[in-house]
């Protein structure tokens, strides 16, 4: 006979960042809502994460100021002037998203929230983070997470790729759970690649 050895118990992490949840889920739908932004080259000391951080910063305040000078200032503060050689496509990508959301989920009721911070306790774990965009409608909320991937759809939609959009399922589930615990109805979970 072979003795049974119970595997050691693994404790759950107490504090969890939703962006660290590497859980694969299906991509149920895919829409193209405009052209991808034209971009230049990254400087040697930069990573694609800088691009995402820059876009998050721009989109966080774009409803307050979408002027070329404001967007250019943010782009240059990230040292991405040679990557985003024209700021107009950044603004257009935002407008494309808003138009698409209005067409598919009705107009936001004046309460689109950017970088919404949250803390949610579930089963002894504390989830903290911020949701890039919560688009409120009369029927509920649409979660939108902004991502960047210079490799295009052949990686984003390929479930064998490390860049597959479905790898954000855990992150979006954590966001949805936090909103639902606060009494929101979550209509959709979207990943937007400007």
For residue 4, pLDDT beyond 70? no
What is the per-residue pLDDT for 80? 93
Tell me the pLDDT band of 117, cut-offs 50, 70 and 90: very high
For residue 61, pLDDT beyond 70? yes
For residue 7, pLDDT beyond 70? no
Name which residue leads in pLDDT, 14 or 141. Answer: 141
> 3-state secondary structure string, the chain?
CCCCCCCCCCCCCCEECHHHCCECCCCCCCCCCCCCCCCCCCCCCCCHHHHHHHHHHHHHHCCCCCCHHHHHHHHHHCCCCCCCCCCHHHHHHHHHHHHHHHHHHCCCCCCCEEEEEEEEEECCEEEEEEEEEEEECCCCEEEEEECCCCCCHHHHCCCCCCCCHHHEHHHHHHHHHHHHHCCCCEEEEEEECC
Q: Are 164 and 157 in contact (CB under 8 A)?
A: yes
For residue 5, pLDDT beyond 60? no
Tell me the pLDDT band of 1, cut-offs 50, 70 and 90: very low
* Residue pLDDT, tens place only, 13-57: 788 888 878 888 888 888 888 777 888 888 878 887 889 999 999
Name which residue leads in pLDDT, 4 or 163. Answer: 163
Tell me the pLDDT band of 110, cut-offs 50, 70 and 90: low
């Amino acid at each position: 006979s072979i003795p049974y050895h119970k595997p050691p118990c693994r404790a759950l992490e107490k504090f969890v960042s939703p962006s660290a949840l590497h859980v694969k889920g299906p991509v149920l739908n895919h829409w193209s809502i405009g052209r991808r932004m034209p971009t230049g080259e990254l400087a040697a000391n930069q990573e694609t994460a800088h691009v995402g951080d820059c876009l998050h910063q721009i989109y966080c305040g774009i409803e307050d100021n979408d002027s070329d000078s404001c967007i250019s200032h943010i782009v240059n503060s990230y040292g991405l002037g040679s990557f985003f050689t024209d700021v107009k496509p950044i603004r257009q990508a935002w407008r494309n998203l808003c138009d698409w959301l209005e067409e598919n989920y009705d107009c936001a009721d004046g309460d689109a929230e950017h970088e919404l911070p949250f803390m949610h306790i579930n089963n002894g774990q504390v989830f903290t983070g911020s949701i890039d965009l919560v688009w409120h409608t009369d029927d509920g909320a649409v979660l939108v997470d902004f991502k960047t991937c210079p490799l295009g759809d052949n990686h984003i939609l390929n479930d064998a790729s490390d860049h597959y959009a479905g790898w954000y399922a855990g992150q979006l589930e954590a966001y949805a759970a936090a909103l639902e615990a606060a009494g929101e109805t979550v209509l959709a979970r979207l990943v937007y690649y400007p």
